[in-house]
Amino acid sequence: MRVLAALFIGLALGGSVARAEEVAPKLAESTVGLPVRAEQLVLPGTELEPVPWDDASPVVVRIEAVYPHGTALRYDLNYQGLEPGEYDLRKYLRRKDGSTVDDLPPLEITIRGLLPSEHITPHDPGFSVVPWLGGYRVLLAVGTVVWLLVLIWVIFPPRRADQVIDAQETRVTLAERLRPLIGRAMRGELSSVELAQFERALVSYWRRRRSLEDCSPAEATRRLRSDAQAGPLLTQVEAWLHSPTGAQNVDVAALLAPFQDLPAEDLDLAPVAVDAGAIPKRPVVAGASHR
């Protein structure tokens, strides 16, 4: 009887050990940094996934493939140790449905180190804040400003000083444009047609400036003759028109005084012959009023 009992206990213990070996798979040892692949690993329960890895984790686990296996699942795993020691992969796995992994068999692995035990571990540099001055953002901002300045310079190139002077010299006032025309009228060189056109141009110009467009031409002309600015030249042109030789000596400066600093293009003298070469050119003072 004692022999049969011992045999029975032995068979029972042997069966338990065999089941434990079937339930707890053997995983290969590895060294630090060397990945190990465990294929066709049958694990009970619902599907597993790796726990998100962080800088403090000494083991990295990846699930490469999952297969159905009856009520369980078969996995192809890949694990890699970053620190030497004994680890249980259950700590680095979790259920996709959030249930516990306590029903998993032990998944123990051994990671051996390659460095001698007396080696000195470097200090952890940790994380630090990048200094503001000289950082990437400053370089990016400076580069953007420089790029914009170059783009503006290309689109709107600065005008050369000689170009500005030429532009100023080509601008003449209305008085300078009228001066040679008055000189010709004084010398009797304007025909009656040209004097009539000169008169109409002056009337049209001052009607716009005095807002007399609604008045008849006769009424507008009558009112402009008594105007302090429009009257002198208009009256003089009429005098030349009706008595070409009767008024040769006139005060040109007084006639042109109302037209000083006015833009020449405001008065349409196109019908009247004007010698452009006789118009003197002079620089225009920036910001001068034209009204």
* Model pLDDT for residues 47-94, shown as the tens digit of each residue: 999 999 888 899 999 999 999 999 999 999 999 999 889 999 999 999
CA distance 208 to 200: 12
What is the block-wise mean pLDDT of the chain (291 residues), using blocks of 10 residues? 45 43 72 91 93 88 94 93 91 93 91 80 71 72 92 83 60 82 84 86 88 86 89 88 68 86 74 54 43 36
Spatial contact of 194 and 270, defined as CB atoms under 8 Å apart: no
CA dist list (Å): 190 to 148, 178, 186: 58, 13, 9
CA distance 32 to 28: 13
Burial of 85 (0-12, 13-18, 19+ CB in 10 A): middle
Closest CA to 30 of 53, 55, 74, 60: 60
Spatial contact of 263 and 174, defined as CB atoms under 8 Å apart: yes
Residue reference for tokens 């004994």: 86
CA distance 9 to 46: 35
